[in-house]
Amino acid sequence: MRATGLTDRATSAFEPMGETARYRRPPASVDPDTSKSRTRRIWPLLRARRWPFFTAIGLSFLSLVLQVQVPNLLNQAIDRSVQSHSVPLEHYVIIVSIIGGLVGICGFFSRWLLFRVAYDFEFDLRNLIYEHLSGMSFSFYDRVQSGQLISRANSDIRSVQMYATFAPLILVQCCIGIVAFCFMLSISVPLALVAMSVMPFLFWAGIRMRHVMFPISWIIQARLAEVATLTDENVNGVRVVRSFAQEGREIAQLTDASAAVAWAYEKDADLRARFTPIMQNLPQVGLALVLAFGGWMVIHGTVGIGAILAFNAYLLMLQAPFMMLGMLIMMGQRASASAERIFEVLDERPDVVERPGAVDLEVTAGRVEFSGVTFGYGSGAPVIDGVDLVLEPGETVALVGRTGSGKSTIARLLLRFYDVEAGTITIDGTNVADATLPSLRAQVGVVTDEPFLFSASVADNISYGRPDASRDEVVAAATAANAHGFISDLAEGYDTVVGERGYTLSGGQRQRIAIARALLVNPPILLLDDATSAIDVHVEQVIHEALEGLLAGRTTLVVAHRLSTIALADRVALLEDGHITATGTHEELLATVPVYADVLAHVADDPADLDPLEDLDDQGLVH
């Protein structure tokens, strides 16, 4: 087996593996100060792109300023060209045409830059969230639903992006009313005051709308996340749902969740129906007042007809921004709710982090020692309490215990998926808490009882830990795991793309690919967490023959349920009530520890196994 070259790296120093991230890293991050407002916390992402952002806003403002000139030119054209004939009409036609061209150019570059900033902002925020999630501890995922995270990483980010990038543009368009008001004052102060008399009512309606929209916006985003969670669970658990014929029940649950979303949207529509007409039609009231009061002024010779037309044009120009003001308020409340939900994730801190001054772990011998290790999940009672266990270099130790005794927990603690509450775990004398996480997990390979495969080719799944591995190395690892045969029979061999989670393969096939994935990395320390549970006895025997050669010179901890797996071990450790109560060879424990046979009789319940007591009797070990 050594000819495969898989064991040559067993005691090598840590060398970073995997691919270097090829994406453009975000130039900034969200402000971690939770005491700041949502806007101030998100501002660093926009500030990093301030030049294109403010250039877009500036061009938009310039475009609107140029547009504001048109009604005033219309007023002058009527007074000077149509009525008094003092200025040729062509003069104003040329000016308006030039302004139209400039407005078009400014509008094009403004929107081009703004959309670029918008999508870059969304890209940055989504990658920040993904990076944050990839660094969170397992305890975080123990209590958070994946559907909630998917919702926050998609629809919530989009809501924040739209508001953060487009709100300033809408505000600029609304603020252009000040410029228009100045032009109106230059034409007629009384008429300008009449035209703007509805603005205080518009401001009050906007404040009131903002106050009532926030709660319903939060409810909408939360209930959308619930629908995403149910959908995610039903897609991933479709085999369980159909196995128990619970399609109707799941559809009913999703219907209830969808009805809750529909109610929230209906409430949102009701609030919009109340306030949007006010926001949109108050400027129309101003237009009516201008026509009434302005007409009276024209009749009495106070202002000219051109002034009335200019005022009407200004008010029509202001109508669109004020209509968008209502949309801006609704966008703002939804973005506020979404930002709150995003910050709930980003403000979570991982429980397992690298200590200052952490060093790369270099395994030279492979001695693993658990000393007084105590750990419990959450606030519950300790699962393991004061565990002492030593794995000598190159030794294979089988960990045996009843279901729920904490065997898999010990494996997770060695990999620092969780941190111990008391005691230490050392590898060659180095506390795993003092090692960098990538180096620790590169030196300790693991195969779990529930192998996860990605929706990628078989070769990509095997080489996941070593993307630079050659095809020959991939084939060698698959051969060692007794997977080469069935892989070769697949439609496209090693290039066959497996379905989501690898469900197009059998459980035993998935587990053999997972074993090949660990063997290709070829770590000096190996964890087999009931890694052959889904493999039939005949295939398991072939894999064990390969493993016997590969485990030589490699420190291995085997979480065992089958006698055939225990047979791989040099020594067995019995875990009872959170303690290691006995260690020794399989035969020694059977002869001296009565509870050992009882534990084996209760944990080896895999249908593929023989009855454990019969198996023991076949070996002449039970009388």
The last residue of a domain, from among 311, 346, 381: 346
Structure confidence by residue, pLDDT tens digits, 31-72: 888 888 878 888 888 888 889 988 988 898 888 888 877 777
- Phi, psi (deg, nearest 5) at residue 567: -65, -20
Residue with the bigger pLDDT between 398 and 217: it is: 398
pLDDT digits (tens, 9 = 90+) for 192-211: 788 777 777 777 776 777 67
Q: Any long-range contacts for 275-279 (C-beta under 8 Å, 24+ apart)?
A: 275/205, 275/208, 275/209, 275/212, 275/326, 276/326, 278/201, 278/202, 278/205, 279/202, 279/205, 279/206, 279/209, 279/322, 279/323, 279/325, 279/326
* pLDDT of 105: 92
Calculate ∠ Cα 495-496-501, nearest 5°: 120
Choice between 235 and 89, residue whose per-residue pLDDT is larger: 89
pLDDT over 60 (residue 610): no
CATH number at residue 459: 3.40.50.300
The angle subtended at Cα 369 by Cα 363 and Cα 375, nearest 5°, is 120
Asked whether residue 4 is domain-assigned, the answer is no
Q: Of 286, 314, 346, which closes a domain? A: 346
Model confidence band, residue 23 (pLDDT cutoffs 50, 70, 90): low
In this structure, the answer to whether residues 326 and 451 fall within a common structural domain is no
% of the chain beyond a pLDDT of 70: 83
Residues 560 and 441 in one domain: yes
Same domain, yes or no: 210 and 84: yes
Model confidence over 335-347: pLDDT tens digits?
887 888 888 888 8
Q: Side chain identity at 136, as an amino acid letter?
A: M
**Are the C-beta atoms of 137 and 351 separated by less than 8 Å?**
yes
For 583-592, how does the pLDDT look when each residue is reduced to its tens digit (9 = 90+)? 888 888 888 8
Residues 446 and 338 reside in one and the same domain: no
Judge residue 22's burial from the number of C-beta atoms within 10 Å of its C-beta, 0-12 exposed, 13-18 middle, 19 or more buried. exposed
Tell me the per-residue pLDDT of 516-575, one tens digit each, with 9 for 90 and over: 888 888 888 888 887 665 566 666 666 666 566 566 678 989 887 777 778 778 899 998
Query: Is residue 357 assigned to a domain?
Result: no
What mean pLDDT do residues 493-508 have?
79
Query: 354-380: buried (b, 16+ CB within 10 Å) or exposed (e) per residue?
Result: beeeeebbbbeebbbbbbebbbbeeee
Rounded Cα distance, 128 and 543, in Å:
42
Kindly state whether residues 206 and 319 are assigned to the same domain.
yes
Q: How confident is the model at residue 276 (pLDDT cuts 50, 70, 90)?
A: confident
* 154 burial type by CB count under 10 A (0-12 exposed, 13-18 middle, 19+ buried): middle
The tokens describing 317, both together, are 């120009």
Q: Is residue 131 part of a domain?
A: yes
Same domain as 141, residue 233? yes
pLDDT above 50 (res 493): yes
For the chain, what is the domain count? Answer: 2
Instruction: Report if residue 216 sits inside a domain.
Output: yes
The model's pLDDT over 218-267, given as tens digits with 9 standing for 90+, comes to: 787 778 777 777 776 676 666 566 666 677 777 787 788 888 888 888 88
Lowest mean pLDDT among 377-386, 475-484, 547-556, 559-568: 547-556
pLDDT bracket for residue 424 (50, 70, 90): very high
Q: Is 279 found in the same domain as 210?
A: yes
Backbone dihedral region of 540: left (phi > 0), alpha (psi from -120 to 50 degrees) or beta?
Answer: alpha
Final residue in a domain of this structure, among 296, 314, 346: 346
pLDDT of residue 617: 42
**Pairwise CA distance, residues 155 & 460, whole Å:** 31
Residue 6 pLDDT? 46
Question: Is 64 within a domain?
Answer: yes
294 near 311, Cβ under 8 Å? yes
The rounded mean pLDDT for the chain is 78
402-410: average pLDDT: 83
DSSP letters spanning 431-472: EGGGB-HHHHHHHEEEE-SS----SSBHHHHHTTT-TT--HH
**Cα Rg, the chain, nearest whole Å:** 35
Decide if 9 is inside a domain.
no
Q: Are residues 307 and 403 in the same domain?
A: no
Task: Please state the φ and ψ torsions of residue 559, each to the nearest 5 degrees.
Answer: -80, 110
3-state secondary structure of 16: coil
The confidence band for 287, taking pLDDT boundaries of 50, 70 and 90, is confident
pLDDT digits (tens, 9 = 90+) for 295-336: 787 777 777 777 777 777 777 776 666 666 666 777 777 788
- Of the candidate ranges 12-21, 23-32, 418-427, 517-526, the one whose mean pLDDT is the lowest: 12-21
Residues 204, 174 share a domain: yes
pLDDT at 609: 42
Q: Do 301 and 396 have their domain in common? A: no
Q: What single DSSP character describes residue 153?
A: I
The string of pLDDT tens digits covering residues 99-141 is 889 988 988 898 899 888 888 888 888 888 888 888 887 778 7
Count of Cβ atoms closer than 10 Å to residue 417 Cβ: 16
CATH number of the CATH domain containing 184: 1.20.1560.10
In which domain, by residue range, is 457 found? 368-618
Clarify whether residues 329 and 453 are in a common domain. Answer: no
275 and 386, same structural domain? Answer: no
DSSP state of 578: T
Query: How sure is the predictor about 370, in pLDDT bands with cuts at 50, 70 and 90?
Result: very high
Question: pLDDT class for 426, splitting at 50, 70, 90?
Answer: very high
Answer whether residue 462 is part of any domain: yes
